[in-house]
Amino acid sequence: MNRVFYCLFFAGFLFLHLDCRAQNLTDTLTIKDTGRNKGHKTEPYRVDSFSRRLHDPRKATIRSAIIPGWGQIYNRKYWKLPLVYAAVGIPAYFYFDNRTWYRNCQHAITVLANYQASLPPGTPGGPVPDSVVRMVNIKLQPLVASGDDNDLRTYRNEYRKDEDYSVLFFLLFWGLNVVDATVDAHLMYFDVSNNLSMQLQMPSPGYMPPGSSPAGISLVFDLHKARSRPVLLR
């Protein structure tokens, strides 16, 4: 199995997190009648958008942990489903493929060992009969016909190691699927709109009594969401 393919696929799956773009969620301005605009049309209070039930990251985490892609469906990120299923499906395919070839190699080793054990003591080694060779997989028949099981054991060990790698990559991509769904759910209502404001405040000068700490200058940054104000309809 090509391990370089796994590394490239892992790097591609990380690009899932490049789409962590938050949805713009703006505040609804509160319209209030102050009493000074009698005779003018006014509107009742509107429900603030933050008072609605927010997206639950815990649900996205649990669902993606149970079934890959379920959390992405809950987050409405449907375009990620092919990536998620490819990420967990390819290691699963290689796992069963390597397991099949591991069993084929093990069967070939057993067949060759049984044939050699059935020979009378002192019989010189020679070509393995075709009736014995045809008992194994067609791709392993040349190795069995040579009568040497060293190559068969080497292939068997390689397939066993690749089988373990497949399990590790499967679990890794399943975990990344859970992390991706959790991060998307947390950033669902992350505000990156133009309603954010920053205020730079300078301290006002004042009298410093004798013996106090020396005066200094500091900068205070007030980063917050723009606050809504009453709007009058005229």
DSSP state of 196: E
Mean pLDDT of 30-52: 48
Whole-model pTM: value is 0.60
Q: Quickly state the pLDDT bin for 75 (edges 50, 70, 90).
A: very high
Percent of the chain surpassing pLDDT 90: 38
E strand segments, the chain: 196-201, 220-225
Residue 64, pLDDT > 90, answer yes
| HEC per residue, 41-87 | CCCCCCCCHHHCCCCCHHHHHHHHHHCCCHHHHHCCCHHHHHHHHHH
Choose from 32-41, 64-73, 217-226 the range with maximum mean pLDDT: 64-73
Q: Where are the beta strands (DSSP E) in 53-208?
A: 196-201
pLDDT for position 219: 58
